[in-house]
Structure 1
Amino acid sequence: MNRRQILLGASSALTAAALGAGAWRSATGAMSAYESYSARLRAPLSGEIADVIRYATLAANGHNTQPWRFAVSAEAITIAPDLSRRTAVVDPDDHHLYVSLGCAATNLAIAAAASGRPGEVIIDGPLVRYVFTGGRRDDVDPLLAAIVRRQSTRADYDGREVPPRDLSSLQVASAVAGVDLAIVTAPADIAAIRDLVIAGNSAQMRDAAFMRELKEWIRFNPRSAMASGDGLFAAASGNPSLPTTLGSLAFDLLFDAAAENDKYARQIASSSGIAVFAAEQADPSHWIRTGQACQRFALEATRVGLKLAFINQPVEVAALRPELARLIGTTRRPDLVLRFGYGPTLPFSPRRPVDAVVGS
């Protein structure tokens, strides 16, 4: 546990003592209630269209903003960007937003087929359409069960090597036309990417606008996470639950680059490898394809018992992209960076209800 977590934990204990246990639970919400809420979000798939969309919303997405809108017709389910949920500072060209649509499209296609609605994913510029093809499909994608278990696990891993067969299965599962995947396992190369992550994190944390935007999306306790259904739930990163006012104050006073850089260095060192995705073009349709590849990678990783977490600072800070591209041997713009390995299960992130993401 680092200094920041110790201080946050101490402030939690002092505040809980001052408020009393009942007032503390009222201010933060009980984790048991959050666990029940999370279990409902990840209940088994039924045959209903609403359930197919629920599975789609469990996809990875930037800052857990869930920047998507679903429209259902007799012929198709369309996924459109919800630009009201942009993160303009960290993602000024909406790169992560469109990646998120691709992640959702992957979950949608797997769940729809499993519910008896086989179809085809068609990318039309900034839109994704899952077009029903009719007939039946009796086989179920083996990645279906991983949809409800996948998470971005921001914790230390145990450093074990991943067997070659599983590295190969990750490469095969995430193959999408127009998207390259580099899997990095050599310690020297991992260390070089670590240095880029730290450089990027330092640059971002010096940016007051970045810090304001990040803070807006943090949910400091179960109550606020369930109320909003979105954002970065503190407990999902192994942080203590705090009343929102205290959490906001702790963020301002204790969230510093040195402690975060130490955490990233330790977590990357504990990882088995790093995955870097790069699309052949930098436009919404190719970013959606990157999301498809990334989500299939994440689901396959989950299926074989791996955890993973995004470390996207070297792609979010534009000045660092050329060096990352050089390290993985490409001339393309790198799109996403994830670390993977064997680690614990943390609380899951919240999700908005289906009726909040369907319609115009």
Structure 2
Amino acid sequence: MFNTIGPHSDVNPPDIQKVIVEHIVRNEDSALQVHTSLRLRPFSGRFPRPNNKVDYETWRSSVELLLKDTTQSNLYKSRKLLESLLSPAIDIVKHLTPESPLYEYLEILDSAFGTVEDRDDLFAKYLNTMQDNGEKPSAYLQRMQAMLNTTLRRGGVIASDLDRHLLRQFVKGCWDNMLIAELQLEQKKQNPPTFPELLLLLRVAEDKRTSKASRMKQHLNIAKPKVSSYYQGIFVQSEEDCSPSQPALGHRSEIQDLKKQIADLQSQLTRITQKDSRKAKSAARPVAPQTAITPTSQKPHHSRDVNKNTSNRPKPWYCFRCGEDGHIKPQCESEPNPSLVAEKRKQLREKQLTWDIENGASKPENLN
């Protein structure tokens, strides 16, 4: 079979191919311009500034990009500028026509919302800008960069000195000396890095610190139970540390007994104090030698001796959890044994009662 269709070059001559390619390229360029056209964020000029609106310096930087776009007409640039303005900012340029040059719009807006500080004042303010409390070094650097750009537009600095001024002020105003030493920023003053390079160095260092702090926190939280158990072991064990499995009734009864003993000791101490007071008054008056020493006058001394020996009163010698001897509850690893604990507690009360009777610490029944 013979091929009736000629070569591809015969069907599509080079001239026709060239026209087709140029048409496709133009369409792609125009479509790209439509999709990538500059969009200005809204600016209103209100004070205080709403959260969803940008400040004038940020908006002005976007307009400068629009001015440098040579592919767009002046009418298109004016329309984009007007679309981004809200009241009251748009109210002061309503008298201008869309055909007015763009610099006329900017001249009025600069007079109303632009920085009015002198270039020397701006540079002096920049040199006095320090890192705020809680502010990251990278955020501090970005804040200084914005101020330095404003100073540059006002003629306070020249473009070739931006990196040098930025590094010097960062080293001066950043309070993190460890970070400055780690990145060797003092040694880089003669050949300072650019703003993107310095910002990247700071962010990498901050990320390393954050990751290390997170790992340390996680590790310490895992090891925390062992540390707390050690400190629990040195606390003095008391009756209030009893296991919840012990009978609540017996616990309340023991507390009541202790309260009663404390009340008895307080009343006895009051009587001793009163007797000492009466003795002091009687000693001030002349008395016969045979009546100077009476059995009553000896009782307070005996009671004071008893009070001095209260440290010898029997104390708990068993674990409030399992009832075994030789350890206390925070160090106990055995199962709870309420019955054994109750028996040991009963033995303790009997020993304490016997000691109180022998040493005169408890209130006798015929004391009244």
Larger relative contact order (Cα-Cα within 8 Å, sequence gap ≥ 6) = 1
Q: TM-score, normalised by structure 1?
A: 0.22
Give the structure with the higher percent helix: 2
